[in-house]
Amino acid sequence: MRVNKDQFIEDFVNKLVSKRGKKIKEANLLDKYYALASLTRDYIAEYWVNTNERYLKDNKKQIYYFSMEFLIGKLLISNLMSLGIKEVCEDGLKDLGLDLNEIAEIEKEPGLGNGGLGRLAACFSDSMATLGIPGYGVGIRYKYGLFQQKIMEGYQEEFPDQWLKYENAWEIKRPSESVEVKFGGNVIITQKDNRLKFVHENYESILAVPYDIPIVGYKNNIVNTLRLLSAEVMDKEFDYYHFNKGEYTKAFEDKYNTEAISYVLYPDDSYEKGKILRLKQEYFLVSSGVQSIVESFKKSGKHLKEFYKYVSIHINDTHPALAIPELIRILIDEEGFGWDEAWKITKHTISYTNHTIMAEALEKWNVDMIKKFLPRIFMIIEEINERFCKELWNTKYNGDFDKISEMAIIADNQIKMAHLAIVGSHSINGVAKLHTEILKRKELKEFYNIYPEKFNNKTNGISHRRWLLKCNPKLASVISEYIGPSWIDSPESLMNLLEFKKDPCFKEKIYKIKQYNKNKFANMVKEKYSIEINPNSIFDIQAKRIHEYKRQVLNVFHIMHLYNKLLENPNLDIYPRTFIFAGKAAPGYYIAKETIKLINSLGKKINNDYRIKDKLKVLFIEDYNITLAELLMPAADVSEQISTTTKEASGTGNMKFMMNGAITIATLDGANIEIANEVGEDNIIIFGLKAKEVLEIYKNNTHNSIDIYNEDIRLKTVMDELINGFLPVSMDEFKGIYDSLLKDNDKYLVLKDFCDYVRAQEKIDKLYRNKSKWLEMSVTNIAYSGKFSSDKTIEEYAKEIWGAL
Ligand code: 26Q
């Protein structure tokens, strides 16, 4: 858009008055933020309206991305950049004596997601808007996002995330587009004109109220919509029936219970507990989403028979898989379709991404629970299941009861959501090549056998706008200086940087920028934690959710081993390193929380030990979120991607670090494999068991962690230090971790990979000393990172799954 500095200043000053009732002199930072955000939204509005109008006219296919999580991050700066007015605003504010970054910092980040899956939804939204794909995000407006993490005495403590405490400057509430969602009750079946009729009665109604957030395409005048739904009581503020009977407080109780649906995001990203509130959240999302889509489709005047030609609904993991029975319900019960046609329309409309192969994360719902809260939906799932089992019986598996019950959607009094999602959709994709192969050959092989055409891979990607252009402006500008700005529109042109990988002048600039970003991070650490870190040390970062399969403990063991070596020989030539951890543990995940305590205990011991002469530092930075990630990625020298091979479906942090010039130390897992294939083995440090070996170990149970413990004295020492008082905690503090590694035979193969990990880390130590070589590697990584832009991923989804583009 176009706005000149003077106009901007005038608009901003007026906005301060109209929105906050203040003149600049009296305005505080919050006033300035809200004035600027509100003005930015005004600027966006025109494009938003035009985009919606165009989408309505265009007759193009509309894509609805259903996700229980959207981790969009702060929006002020990125919106200004997408509008192309960041510089003008910055200048204008400067004239007023104000600093844009300081104002932007005060924005509260909407933490409406746990990690990878939620952030992926945000990167995809950004890419759809930028590519001009009519894409809508559909999610929940949780009143409380992911908990805020504080570290107290080394332990994680959780606090509510009050991101809506003040107003959300970006959203527009649309009460008139609210939708009724029905829970509970019973279904009456009647027959009329030879057709069964299903009438749902005695249900409880909940209102889904939409709040729309603009998703601004990058300098293309397109603004898509992220629609977040909030639960409210129907019609009345409180229940007059109870109120009049004198049960005054009962009326408020019901309101409270209703609104509880969109109260809080579940903080687990890998464990499924089958909680009723979570089930209600999932149905709340899909029912309101699908109903509004059908309504707006009908307004277009087209026949519902053609629904799937104009609408795609993509489900982000199985969490929104009830969209399948919900669409069938609407088509049959409300629109009068027969089963076969409703089934065909639904299957062609829905596509599904799988994000995990870990058994404990696969969603299963108890039959009685679904029957009780979603009686009509249950009937439809039963029907899908029956038809599916019959199909198996009549085609491939005649008489094979075992096979059929293994593949059934309903078995053992449970509904398997992945099976429902596969049977009821036309496409299922994994998120990296290895992950998709494991789905096809192992986890879902029975389904691959019968529906090979449904399976495909879509390797994840990240928005290079947020993860380079926005978070690392200095790097972005040097890149443009050397290869021109075309990489911003076509990120694969980052490859043109390869030409300069041996150019000393360019490399020096890259080095200086890394140092600048490291200093910026070090300043934050000093301010917040009063810890001095050496910006000339290697910044070695592992930032992600805390989980056994991600193996933060392997990283810790390596640090303990280095520390032991230094204690033995304080003059040992180790290149100074700062080990940085960040990440949240699910509040009920005991070992993950112990791991946080372990990292902090080790930090306490090492950081205060004068004997090792500041050669090692260990930091745990609290409350990892998108905002912190934007500070961390640009400051990293080393990126830790060390999951047990086969366990990390893709990873996306790996791509963010790479894009900011860090060197990756990694197992050949998830998208690490594809990163390694791009940059070549000289530009990434690979270690550990290969997928085949890990699968072999799991299959044949050939692994014995106690043997490894006994054979490797370095490992034995470190392990013993967990429980012998070496660390400044009671001796049984880390017994849980210790036992999981020895008694429980180390399910995630930490001990097995330790030796090779130490070797790989020694290689890093050596390589970093060769500054020129290191920078060449760094440039190579940046150059190939364009391959991992989510623009490319979204283009593939659009072409190969959605049939849009
Ligand atoms: C399920 C049921 C009940 C409560 C919570 C959940 C739940 C919530 C979130 C289960 C899983 C998640 C999130 C999973 C996730 O983030 N997976 C990651 O997805 C990334 C994007 O594809 C991949 O890069 C990561 O490898 C994968 O771990």
Q: Is 656 a catalytic residue?
A: yes
Least confident of 357-371, 399-413, 569-583, 619-633: 357-371
Residue 241: per-residue pLDDT = 64
CB 435, CB 116: distance < 8 Å: no
Taking alpha carbons only, the member of 512, 612, 617 closest to residue 567 is: 612
Which structural domain range is residue 741 located in? 464-788
Confidence of residue 175 (pLDDT cuts 50, 70, 90): very high
Q: Please, is 105 exposed, middle or buried when counting C-beta atoms within 10 Å of its C-beta (0-12, 13-18, 19+)?
A: middle
Residue 98: inside a domain, yes or no? no
Residue 15: CB partners within 8 Å, gap ≥ 6?
35, 36, 38, 39, 42
Taking alpha carbons only, the member of 112, 108, 110 closest to residue 281 is: 112
Q: Largest Cα–Cα distance in the chain?
A: 91
Q: Is 645 a catalytic residue?
A: no
Give the pocket of ligand 1 (CB within 6 Å). Answer: 114-117, 120, 266, 268-270, 272, 278, 355-356, 361, 363, 431, 460, 648-652, 670
Question: Are residues 448 and 375 located together in one domain of the fold?
Answer: yes
Residue 509: inside a domain, yes or no? yes
**Residue located nearest, by CA, to atom 11 of ligand 1:** 269
Q: Report the domain count for the chain.
A: 2
Residue 451: inside a domain, yes or no? yes
Residue 4: inside a domain, yes or no? no
Question: Which token pair is 150?
Answer: 């504080």
Testing ligand 1's pocket by substitution, the residue of 269, 352, 547 carrying the most ligand atoms inside 8 A of its CB is 269
Counting from 1 in the atom list of ligand 1, the atom nearest the Cα of 273 is: 3
Residue 3: inside a domain, yes or no? no
Point out the catalytic residue in the list 130, 595, 652, 667.
652
Question: Are residues 453 and 517 located together in one domain of the fold?
Answer: no
Q: What angle do CA 756, 759, 761 make, to 5 degrees?
A: 110
Residue 791: CB partners within 8 Å, gap ≥ 6?
127, 130, 131, 461, 463, 464, 491
CB 57, CB 130: distance < 8 Å: no
Residue 237 has pLDDT above 60, yes or no: no
Confidence of residue 236 (pLDDT cuts 50, 70, 90): low
**Residue located nearest, by CA, to atom 14 of ligand 1:** 269
Residue 44: CB partners within 8 Å, gap ≥ 6?
79, 83, 214, 216, 223
Q: Is 545 a catalytic residue?
A: yes
Question: Are residues 419 and 509 located together in one domain of the fold?
Answer: no
Residue 619: inside a domain, yes or no? yes
Question: Are residues 445 and 533 located together in one domain of the fold?
Answer: no
Testing ligand 1's pocket by substitution, the residue of 67, 71, 117, 272 carrying the most ligand atoms inside 8 A of its CB is 117
What average pLDDT does this structure show over 629-650?
Answer: 98
- Residue in the block written with tokens 């009647």: 190
CATH of the domain at 235: 3.40.50.2000
Question: Are residues 599 and 730 located together in one domain of the fold?
Answer: yes
Testing ligand 1's pocket by substitution, the residue of 140, 354, 356, 467 carrying the most ligand atoms inside 8 A of its CB is 356
Question: Are residues 435 and 339 located together in one domain of the fold?
Answer: yes
The torsion of the CA quartet 383, 384, 387, 392, rounded to 10 degrees, works out to -140
**Dihedral angle sign, alpha carbons of residues 724, 727, 729, 735:** negative
Question: Are residues 429 and 310 located together in one domain of the fold?
Answer: yes
Question: Which token pair is 169?
Answer: 């400057």
Residue 721: inside a domain, yes or no? yes
DSSP result, 4-27: -HHHHHHHHHHHHHHHHS--GGG-
Confidence of residue 246 (pLDDT cuts 50, 70, 90): low
The pLDDT tens digits for 465-492 are 999 999 999 999 999 999 999 999 999 9
The amino acid at 589: Y
The residue that leads in pLDDT, 584 or 613, is: 584
Measured CA to CA, the distance from residue 662 to residue 675 in angstroms comes to 12
Distance 160 CA to ligand 1 centre (A): 21
Residue 45: inside a domain, yes or no? no
Q: For all residues of the chain together, what is the average pLDDT?
A: 96
Q: Is 190 a catalytic residue?
A: no
Q: Is 544 a catalytic residue?
A: yes
Question: Are residues 394 and 529 located together in one domain of the fold?
Answer: no
Residue 242 has pLDDT above 70, yes or no: no
Question: Are residues 644 and 572 located together in one domain of the fold?
Answer: yes
Residue 726: CB partners within 8 Å, gap ≥ 6?
605, 720
Least confident of 185-199, 209-223, 741-755: 185-199
Question: Are residues 214 and 138 located together in one domain of the fold?
Answer: yes
Question: Are residues 619 and 631 located together in one domain of the fold?
Answer: yes
Question: Are residues 602 and 634 located together in one domain of the fold?
Answer: yes
Question: Which token pair is 258?
Answer: 């209703």
Least confident of 222-236, 459-473, 712-726: 222-236
Residue 357 has pLDDT above 90, yes or no: no
